[in-house]
Amino acid sequence: DTEVTQTPKHLVMGMTNKKSLKCEQHMGHRAMYWYKQKAKKPPELMFVYSYEKLSINESVPSRFSPECPNSSLLNLHLHALQPEDSALYLCASSRSGTNNVGSEAFFGQGTRLTVV
Amino acid sequence: AQSVSQHNHHVILSEAASLELGCNYSYGGTVNLFWYVQYPGQHLQLLLKYFSGDPLVKGIKGFEAEFIKSKFSFNLRKPSVQWSDTAEYFCAVNARGGNMLTFGGGTRLMVKP
């Protein structure tokens, strides 16, 4: 099983709503990532969890709040978003890079988020 | 911090033409290098990767890439493209032992039948 599963696939939310994006992998990977991808742009790293601990936060606004409940799950909690936050949110996982020579990241299909 | 440059933003080819997409990275240490492809409406898929060893790596669907350390480059090649290769191609790098995967700006390839 080499899948990263993200739910929901599409989400429309108002600026006052609270919603969560979910990501799951069962490959035994210990690094999990959130990326944001705007149309016709490359993915931009938001957060990295390594061994369930937040290891990288790329200066993301606090209206995005990540959570890693266990080694298979990664959530992104959304609150008071702005229309410019509309984008494709990608989850990825890899064997932890901290001790390995190298490991590729496997990506989910993404959640297409629209903030109205 | 690492960075990645892809010089070709849009490439249009006819079927059977040869392809070469440029990728250069900037980082002072040892890196892992990747090419990902994103077909329209689909998720990012790994085409190929370089960790160490033979600098010429072969990936899926007939793609290959060559790591030239002296030039900090990792160009993607395919001898004969097909219409189904129409997609966006991303070069990516992470520092050896690190988790921060950084993408280049992407190259949008259109193959005319």
* Residues in chain B within 8 Å Cβ distance of A97: 94, 97-99
Inter-chain residue contact A90 with B45, CB threshold 8 Å: no
**Nearest CB to B51; choose among A90, A102, A105:** A102
> Is the model more confident about A99 or about B33?
B33
Chain B environment of A50 (Cβ under 8 Å): 99
Query: What pLDDT sits at residue B108?
Result: 96
CB contacts of B45 in chain A (<8 Å) are 107
**Inter-chain CB proximity B101 and A105 less than 8 Å:** yes
Which of A45, A90, A102 lies closest to B100 in CB terms? A45
Residue A99 has pLDDT above 80, yes or no: no
Query: Distance (Å, rounded) from C-alpha B27 to C-alpha A88?
Result: 28
Q: At CB < 8 Å, which residues of chain B contact A?
A: 32, 34, 36, 42-46, 49, 51-52, 90, 94, 96-106, 108
Which string of DSSP letters, residue by residue, matches chain B?
Answer: --EEE-S-SEEEEETT--EEE--EEE-SS-EEEEEEEE-TTS--EEEEEE-SS-SEEE-GGG-EEEEEGGGTEEEEEESS--GGG-EEEEEEEEETT----EE---EEEEEE-
Phi and psi at residue B42, to the nearest 5°? -120, 170
For residue A106, what is the domain's CATH number?
2.60.40.10
Would you tell me which residues 57-116 of chain A have a C-beta closer than 8 angstroms to some C-beta of chain B?
A: 90, 92, 94, 96-110
Model pLDDT, residue A101: 59
- Domain residue limits at A29: 4-115
Average pLDDT (A8-36) is 95
Q: Is it the case that residue A74 has pLDDT exceeding 80?
A: yes
- pLDDT over 70 percentage in chain A: 92
Are B43 and A43 inside 8 Å of each other by CB?
A: no
Residue A2 pLDDT level (bands cut at 50, 70, 90):
low
CATH number (domain holding residue B65): 2.60.40.10
Q: Total domain count for chain B?
A: 1
Q: Kindly state whether residue B85 falls inside one of the protein's structural domains.
A: yes
In a domain, B1, yes or no: yes
Give the pLDDT confidence score for residue A102 in this predicted structure. Answer: 66
Query: What stretches in chain B show pLDDT beneath 70?
Result: none
Instruction: Flag whether B39 is in a domain.
Output: no
In a domain, B103, yes or no: no
Domains: count for chain A:
1
**Residue B37 belongs to some domain of the structure:** no
Alpha-carbon distance A103 to nearest alpha carbon in chain B (angstroms):
8
CB within 8 Å: B99 and A94:
yes
Res. A79 pLDDT band, cuts 50 70 90:
very high
Q: Is residue B69 part of a domain?
A: yes
Domain span at B60: 1-32+55-89+109-113
Is residue B81, in this structure, part of any structural domain at all?
yes
Q: Do A110 and B105 touch (CB under 8 A)?
A: no
In the predicted structure, residue A110 carries a pLDDT above the cut 90: yes
With contact defined as beta carbons under 8 Å apart, do A74 and A34 qualify?
yes
